């Protein structure tokens, strides 16, 4: 295994940081990305009158861009 691959393996093994609730929030609202994307690799989201693009990368990560 090369040094590059071991760095990738460590990145995959890292656990995500726990989510924090907003100060006045009593519960979490969860949305499953696979359900939201419905098999597509890209989704356009309207937020406060602006369009945003949620895209799945070739490595399975999510990127949100304006």
> 52: how many CB neighbours lie within 10 A of its CB?
13
Return the closest-CA partner of residue 19 out of 10, 11, 7, 28: 28
What CA–CA distance (Å, rounded) separates 38 from 56?
12
What CA–CA distance (Å, rounded) separates 55 from 64?
6
pLDDT of 20: 66
Domain boundary assignment for the chain: 31-66
pLDDT of 52: 97
State the CATH architecture for 31-66. Ribbon (2.10)
pLDDT of 41: 96
pLDDT of 28: 75
pLDDT of 19: 64
Name the stretches of the chain with pLDDT < 70: 1-25
38: left (phi over 0), alpha (psi -120 to 50) or beta: left
């Amino acid at each position: 295994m090369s040094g590059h691959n071991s760095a990738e393996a460590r990145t995959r093994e890292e656990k995500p940081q726990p989510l924090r609730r907003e100060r006045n929030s009593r519960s979490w609202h969860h949305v499953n990305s696979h359900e939201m994307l419905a098999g597509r690799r890209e989704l356009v989201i309207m937020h406060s009158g602006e369009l945003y693009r949620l895209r799945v990368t070739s490595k399975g990560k999510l990127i949100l861009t304006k």
